């Protein structure tokens, strides 16, 4: 599917698949809207940077195992992602103590850019916290290895992933409308359209395809218990 999709749509929908946190581009839109209203429009770039930074190790991980090690997606997200080295990198990216340290450093040396990078990275982690189940991050690393296992998931159908991802898209739409009504150049509006389009494409690909497969199953198989059907959906 990915290979046959034009590159720009592949790029946009990349973040809409299940392997990132709350979708990375969503963090960008929500953080710039929420924190930009406090910090002022001049600091949108460090806010955006802080919103994207926590997921950077995951992008590097994916590029490495996909294009260097050439692993299939199923192995990537079920095995390679849980290697200790990559788990440590992801934990560093999503560490609220480390992000707080960056913000504090910025405060003491009077660098607003660092302050807002740190604050935005903390907000990213707070956004991830309630929507990760078995793939929860260690947000208090290196002080603690504690993971908050939420009953909700931003992608997993067994943990209300369909509804959580829809709610996330709704939040991004509200933030987009807020930014759109501000002083936004045409390029910024184009990015918002692409991001929201990527949610639609990602949702259609990930859930629409699975829903179609489920509907196309034989009547006997569709009579399974909901939990069994959900497991089947995930393993497709």
x/- binding map, residues 126-145, to Zn ion, per CB under 5 A?
A: --x-----------------
Identify which of residues 202 and 233 has a Cβ nearer to Zn ion in the complex.
202
55 binds Zn ion (CB under 5 A): yes
Q: Is 35 in the site for Zn ion (CB under 5 A)?
A: no
We find the least distance from the C-beta atom of residue 181 to Zn ion, in angstroms, to be 27
- Give the Cα separation of 44 and 50 in Å (integer): 10
Kindly state whether residue 191 participates in binding Zn ion, applying the rule CB under 5 A.
Answer: no
Provide, rounded to whole angstroms, the least separation between the CB of residue 137 and Zn ion.
7
For Zn ion, the closer CB: 19 or 178: 19
Residue of this chain nearest to Zn ion (CB atom) = 21
Q: How far is the CB of 90 from Zn ion (least distance, A)?
A: 8
Q: Which residue stretch of 45-53, 124-132, 173-181, 203-211 sits at the interface with Zn ion (rule: CB under 5 A)? A: 124-132
Judged by CB under 5 A, the residue of 54, 106, 161, 202 near Zn ion is 54
Work out how close the CB of 159 gets to Zn ion at its nearest, in angstroms, rounded to a whole number: 17
Q: Measured from the CB atom, is 128 or 156 closer to Zn ion?
A: 128
How far apart are CB 52 and Zn ion at their closest, in Å?
9
User: Is 28 a residue that touches Zn ion (CB under 5 A)?
Assistant: no
Bond before 142 cis per omega within 30 degrees? yes
**Vertex 99: Cα angle to 94 and 101 (nearest 5):** 145
In the complex with Zn ion, the residue whose CB is nearer, 59 or 178, is 59
DSSP string, the chain: --TTS-HHHHHHHHTTSTTSSS-HHHHHHHHHHHHHHHH-GGGHHHHHHHHHGGGHHHHHHHHIIIIIS---HHHHHHTGGGSHHHHHHHHHHT-HHHHHHHHHHHHHTT-HHHHHHHHHHHHHHHHHGGG-STT---TTTTT-------S--SS-GGGTHHHHHHHHHHHHHHHHHHHHHSS--HHHHHHHHHHHHHHHHHHIIIIIHHHHHHHHS-HHHHTS-HHHHHHHHHT-
Provide, rounded to whole angstroms, the least separation between the CB of residue 87 and Zn ion: 13
Would you tell me which residues interact with Zn ion (CB under 5 A)? 21, 54-55, 128
């Amino acid at each position: 599917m990915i290979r046959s999709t034009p590159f720009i749509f592949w790029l946009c929908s990349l973040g809409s698949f299940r392997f990132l946190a709350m979708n990375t581009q969503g963090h960008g839109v929500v953080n710039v809207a929420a924190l930009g209203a406090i910090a002022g429009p001049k600091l949108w770039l460090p806010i955006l940077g802080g919103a994207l930074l926590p997921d950077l190790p995951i992008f590097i991980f994916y590029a490495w195992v996909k294009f260097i090690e050439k692993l299939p997606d199923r192995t990537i997200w079920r095995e390679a992602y849980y290697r200790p080295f990559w788990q440590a990198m992801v934990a560093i990216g999503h560490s609220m103590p480390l992000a707080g340290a960056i913000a504090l450093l910025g405060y003491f040396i009077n660098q607003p850019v660092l302050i807002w990078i740190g604050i935005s990275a903390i907000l990213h982690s707070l956004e991830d916290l309630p929507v990760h189940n078995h793939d929860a991050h260690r947000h208090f690393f290196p002080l603690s290895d504690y993971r908050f296992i939420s009953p909700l998931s931003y992608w997993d159908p067994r943990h209300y992933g369909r509804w959580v991802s829809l709610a996330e898209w709704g939040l991004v739409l509200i933030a987009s409308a807020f930014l759109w009504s501000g002083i936004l150049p045409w390029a910024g509006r184009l990015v918002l359209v692409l991001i929201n389009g990527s949610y639609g494409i990602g949702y259609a690909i990930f859930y629409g395809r699975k829903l179609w497969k489920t509907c196309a199953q034989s009547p006997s198989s569709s009579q399974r218990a909901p939990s069994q059907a959900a497991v089947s959906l995930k393993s497709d």
